[in-house]
Chains A and B, each alone.
Chain A
């Protein structure tokens, strides 16, 4: 497809389970971003990749959160031992290169931890 895609669109996990969220960026986009958006809030930055290199992971809330982009295209955000406070929409965005260029967002994955 032409845009950023994310899967699954919805995920329900029991507290303590591990989850993996996938992002397929726009083909050829060098930069990839992950955001967490709580209900009624704006997105909060989690982490940023330039190709396969994770340049900034300062927004990851705890060491239970881990992101990778091993081949510089598809990225996976993994959350271990999920907690209720992890419930949010996780947005992925990609850009041609870096922060100065337009970011195109995917539809998000809504994670609900019960």
Chain B
């Protein structure tokens, strides 16, 4: 069964600190992996998309990594800001899109 597992479920960090979110998947075949940011009450917005051959991709303070051998991905947020408070969703594309449940991040002053 295709699954996407994210950890931690929730995270609280101080403004300015770094954090790393994890995504493990068992989707096959694999097409690409995306990270989305979803603010409360809004639709998800794409941060990065990576194919099988890509190991890392950055978008400003967001850096995603992908290890296709171990089927793991991470999203690293550098120098967090209050506006980073949101849910971060990992989505793995195979024959269909498989969504993780998300990690809820709260950045506090």
Contact = CB atoms under 8 A, between A and B. Distances in A.
A66 interface: no
Contact of A107 (B42, B49, B101): B42
Given A99-B93, A100-B31, A42 B45 contact: no
B30 to A, nearest CB: 12
A44 B43 contact: no
Contact of A99 (B41, B96, B99): B96
Contact of A42 (B93, B95, B96, B102): B102
A91 B43 contact: yes
Interface residues of B, number: 19
Interface string A95-106: 000011011111
Given A99-B97, A100-B32, A42 B43 contact: no
Contacts of A35: 99
27 contacts: A33-B97, A40-B101, A40-B104, A41-B101, A41-B102, A42-B100, A43-B44, A44-B99, A45-B97, A56-B96, A58-B96, A93-B43, A99-B31, A99-B93, A99-B95, A99-B96, A99-B97, A100-B93, A102-B46, A102-B49, A103-B46, A103-B97, A104-B46, A105-B43, A106-B43, A108-B41, A108-B42
